Structure 1
């Protein structure tokens, strides 16, 4: 188990990749972002996307699934996240793409008011199979501090 004290500014993590399927893009769009360019080849062709593109929110969801899969294999004492900063969808994600998720710790901070926890800030970058950035954001994660021995 990794605790706040194990986190170092500058440390980088390759969380892995996620293969984007047409079926998932359509299913997500139907449920959560039913804009025509996420649902119809004809409508998407009329836009700057040129073809059906994944919702940015779907890209965020696929990114989170990739991170959680990594954390299942590399446990950390995480306590959730109060949010993200500077979320940007830089390029469209298309069915057939493979997205890669990487993170770099930019801040580690013990809590002033709760001595058993702290937070880390991580710059998260998502690229496609051509190493083009498709999404980036800074996450804030709350973490437990290492328990003190009795």
Structure 2
């Protein structure tokens, strides 16, 4: 089933998904994102980063979250797309540095039928993002909508 699109019925508590790939983070990407969306010195310049809390250039947590989202979408192919239904938790536990390669592990922690949208269920997952040293750099608990198969598959 890894290559097929998933419906609500395909998700079970305890089920795990691992990154289909990985993402290498570059200094240029960190600086470009920082300049556009999070212009703090430690996201823009190595020297400024050295004199900061991070002791070096560090990616914005929002860049890390965006990379993790891409890895999630590539790893868990939901029919019609992964429709966000809220973030319960997001923690940045280690800075992401130039040259880091990120991967994810996603675990389903709950599934329930939506009460307001009968054609969808709500899947809650915990995602751990790791760097190449197996350090957790981000932990999040995210809810998304998954379509109920019978509502979308024509017989």
Partner of 2:46: 41
Matches within 5 A, 1:27-106: 27-71=32-76, 74-78=77-81, 80-106=83-109
Q: CA deviation at 1:41?
A: 1.3
Name the Cα RMSD after superposition: 1.6
Partners of 1:62 and 1:105 lie apart in 2 by: 20
**Counterpart selection for 1:119 from 111, 119, 122:** 122
Q: Is the 8 A contact 1:78 1:144 kept in 2?
A: no
Partner of 1:18: 23
Partners of 1:124 and 1:103 lie apart in 2 by: 4
1:24-51 CA distances to partner (integer Å, 9 max, x unpaired)? 1111001000100111111111123111
Q: Is the 8 A contact 2:104 2:127 kept in 1?
A: yes
> What TM-score, normalized to structure 2?
0.88
**Counterpart selection for 1:147 from 140, 147, 150:** 150
Partners of 1:136 and 1:111 lie apart in 2 by: 25
Query: Relative to structure 1, is the Cα distance of residues 76 and 56 closer, same or farther in structure 2, using a 3 angstrom cutoff?
Result: same
List runs of 5+ in structure 1 lacking aligned partners: none
List runs of 5+ in structure 2 lacking aligned partners: none
Partner of 1:7: 11
Query: Relative to structure 1, is the Cα distance of residues 114 and 83 closer, same or farther in structure 2, using a 3 angstrom cutoff?
Result: closer
Runs ≥4 in structure 1, deviation > 4 angstroms?
A: none
